[in-house]
Amino acid sequence: MNIVGGIKLPKSVEASDLYIQCNESASIDYQESDKQQSDKQVVLRQGGIVSVNSYFNSFYEKYYTKYTNLGAIYYLLQLQGDFEVAVCREVFGNNNKTIVFQEKFVNCQFSQPVKVGPINLLQDDKAGRIYFEITCTSDRGAFKESAIATDETPTREVSLAIVICTFKKEDYIKNTLAAIFQDKLLATKNFKLFVVDNGRTLDAADFTQPKLELVPNINAGGSGGFTRGLVEALAENAYSHFLLMDDDIELESESIYRLFGLHEYAKVDLAVAGGLLNLQKKHLLYEAGALYNAGAKNRGFGPGSLTPAYNNIDLRDANSLNSLLVEEYIDYGGFWFFSFSKELVDRIQLPLPFFIKIDDVEFGLRIREAGNNIVAFPPMAVWHLPASAKNVNWENYYYTRNDLAAYAIHYSLSYRDAVTHLTKVIIQSLASFDLDRALVTIAAFEDYLKGPNFLKNSDPETLHPYIIKLSKSYREGQETDKLASIKLLARWFNAAAQGSKVWSSVSSEWKNAAREMTSTLFWQQYLGLESNRTQEKVENFELKIESVTRI
């Protein structure tokens, strides 16, 4: 028997519809905060119904039969009392459910899980989404968290390095680690957590578990933090797959457990893009993968470059859940939850040193160019603030600079398209008196023209504070009259004129340098790891000499 997924109960009432639905004769007590999650239960009276027709507890048969070797599953239900159990299937475009298994069970006890099935998985267009419903037929009954299992042997063994990059998000990190280490199913899997601390504010005394390592790092942004974790994990040569996760998320640990099952039974090597659930409206799926500039003609540089897939879907509705069965092509997945194999890293190498923004996009483009699938596999997701909830001006610098670099590396970046688009952005910013946005856009273009050596030789811990300060130039008292706008326009036209002279050569430099800047050797030098390790060796040697001298 191999468990490929869990059936979870909600942690809070605000997200309950993403896990279960109960009628008036069934309820769960959310006030018992002292209980472990696995000890929670739904209490039912006679006629009470619990359905897992939901986002997190559905089994998306269509994805499993397309991407894995699984042929059949069954449920192991923790029940107490008498029940009628029905297993249902729904497909996209049909509001009716089909019952694929139905049986009555009496005198059920938690100590002996009830086996429901097997359910043979459909391998054709009739494959859909599977879930179960239970009806209590005794005076009283109860239901606990359960499991989805199979008797089929996994295709491969999976060991997972989980990399979390953080910068002064201590409370989020604490909650994420608790969710992972309190998951009893996940405890059976082979994984290790690398928490890369770009802010160097976490206490090493809190990171003593065998499966956990704290990695202090320079503030090289998300791309630098994630890559530092990958470098550390690769050095151990012990992991078949990697998972990157943001620090400011709310995690459903079942997403990680199902990720194991997917990689274990996968037919081919694939990357997995987890969905982003709206942390402000927990029932909304904000994004599950995205396209990069699909709206522009021939993918030319222009506005609206990031187009989320499955945007703002209400996951409380069964029709919305079924709509996820229609798989959308995506170019990349956000690094809030993104998984891929070591084999893939061996082929395409590491992320680019973009600090933040477009680093996950560019990495995804390389995965696609290598011929690998990127799949937004429901229901793997985390809660996170959507991009629309963040509005800090300095991010526009990184968006612009890194967009230009990514286009130069992967497409034919037209000077005319780039300058036309950025001129519109700058004029619109000036018209709305957002002089700071105009300024960081111009600075980003100027820095792009400096070529990849600008990134190679810049100290991110010096550059980033400068960009933040730059983004507040006019809010902090500099001139804001018409003369300031005229000066900014003059600076822009001067930069654009300079760009026309060097455009072809600079674009080639970015494309040619990409392979070098994604290598392990480059990142070791960029993050100062070689010098740090040399210093460690010197200190260790001095300690040995001192001990010998004492003898």
Alpha-carbon distance of 341 to 264, in angstroms, equals: 11
pLDDT at residue 174 is higher than 90: yes
Q: Which of 59-68, 173-182, 348-357, 475-484 is the least confident region? A: 475-484
Domain ranges of the chain: 2-150, 159-389, 394-518
Cα-flanking dihedrals φ and ψ of residue 59, to 5°?
A: -105, 110
Q: Sorting pLDDT into bands at 50, 70 and 90, what band is 392? A: confident
Q: What is the pLDDT of residues 468-486, one digit of tens each?
A: 999 999 875 555 677 899 9
Q: Which of 41-50, 381-390, 427-436, 457-466 is the least confident region? A: 381-390
Global confidence as pTM: 0.93
Q: Do domains 2-150 and 159-389 have the same CATH topology?
A: yes
- Give the pLDDT confidence score for residue 513 in this predicted structure: 97
Q: Which two tokens stand for residue 77?
A: 């239900």
- Give the pLDDT confidence score for residue 364 in this predicted structure: 97
241-246 and 159-166 beta bridge pairing: parallel
Neighbouring CB atoms inside 10 A of 103's CB total 13
Q: What is the pLDDT of residues 417-436, one digit of tens each?
A: 899 999 999 999 999 999 99
- Give the pLDDT confidence score for residue 550 in this predicted structure: 43
Decide: helix, strand or coil at residue 387: helix
- Give the pLDDT confidence score for residue 233 in this predicted structure: 98
- Give the pLDDT confidence score for residue 375 in this predicted structure: 97
- Among 342, 350, 348, 339, which Cα is nearest to 520's? 350
- Give the pLDDT confidence score for residue 32 in this predicted structure: 53
Q: Do 334 and 387 touch, CB atoms closer than 8 A?
A: no
> For domain 2-150, is the CATH number 3.90.550.60?
yes
- Give the pLDDT confidence score for residue 29 in this predicted structure: 77
Burial profile 496-510: b = 16 or more Cβ within 10 angstroms, e = fewer: beebeeebeebbebb
Q: Sorting pLDDT into bands at 50, 70 and 90, what band is 547? A: very low
- Give the pLDDT confidence score for residue 488 in this predicted structure: 96
Residue 380 backbone zone (phi > 0: left; psi -120 to 50: alpha; other: beta): beta
Q: Sorting pLDDT into bands at 50, 70 and 90, what band is 125? A: confident
- Give the pLDDT confidence score for residue 314 in this predicted structure: 97
Give the mean model confidence (pLDDT) for residues 152-177. 96
**Residues with Cβ < 8 Å from 111, sequence gap 6 or more?**
none
Q: What is the pLDDT of residues 196-252, one digit of tens each?
A: 999 999 999 999 999 999 999 999 999 999 999 999 999 999 999 999 999 999 999
- Give the pLDDT confidence score for residue 303 in this predicted structure: 53
Q: Which two tokens stand for residue 397?
A: 């610098």
- Give the pLDDT confidence score for residue 475 in this predicted structure: 75
- Give the pLDDT confidence score for residue 301 in this predicted structure: 66
- Give the pLDDT confidence score for residue 386 in this predicted structure: 85
Q: What is the pLDDT of residues 360-375, one digit of tens each?
A: 999 999 999 999 999 9
- Give the pLDDT confidence score for residue 33 in this predicted structure: 47
Q: Which two tokens stand for residue 248?
A: 């400011």
- Give the pLDDT confidence score for residue 93 in this predicted structure: 85
- Give the pLDDT confidence score for residue 96 in this predicted structure: 82
- Give the pLDDT confidence score for residue 247 in this predicted structure: 95
- Give the pLDDT confidence score for residue 541 in this predicted structure: 38
User: In DSSP terms, which residues pair with 3 in a beta bridge?
Assistant: 149
What integer best gives the mean pLDDT of the chain? 91
Strands (E), 183-257: 190-197, 212-216, 241-246, 250-251
- Give the pLDDT confidence score for residue 477 in this predicted structure: 54
Give the mean model confidence (pLDDT) for residues 255-273. 97
Alpha-carbon distance of 502 to 87, in angstroms, equals: 64
Q: Sorting pLDDT into bands at 50, 70 and 90, what band is 302? A: low
- Among 304, 354, 323, which Cα is nearest to 463's? 354
Q: Which of 91-95, 219-223, 246-250, 264-268 is the least confident region? A: 91-95
What is the percent of the chain where pLDDT is above 70? 91
Alpha-carbon distance of 198 to 18, in angstroms, equals: 33
Q: What is the pLDDT of residues 436-470, one digit of tens each?
A: 999 999 999 999 999 999 999 999 999 999 999 99
Give the mean model confidence (pLDDT) for residues 78-83. 98
Give the mean model confidence (pLDDT) for residues 92-116. 93
> For domain 159-389, is the CATH number 3.90.550.60?
yes
Give the mean model confidence (pLDDT) for residues 56-60. 98
Give the mean model confidence (pLDDT) for residues 58-64. 97
Give the sheet arrangement for strand 313-314, strand by strand.
250-251, 381-384, 275-278, 284-287, 313-314
Radius of gyration of the chain (CA): 26
Alpha-carbon distance of 220 to 355, in angstroms, equals: 6
pLDDT at residue 1 is higher than 80: yes
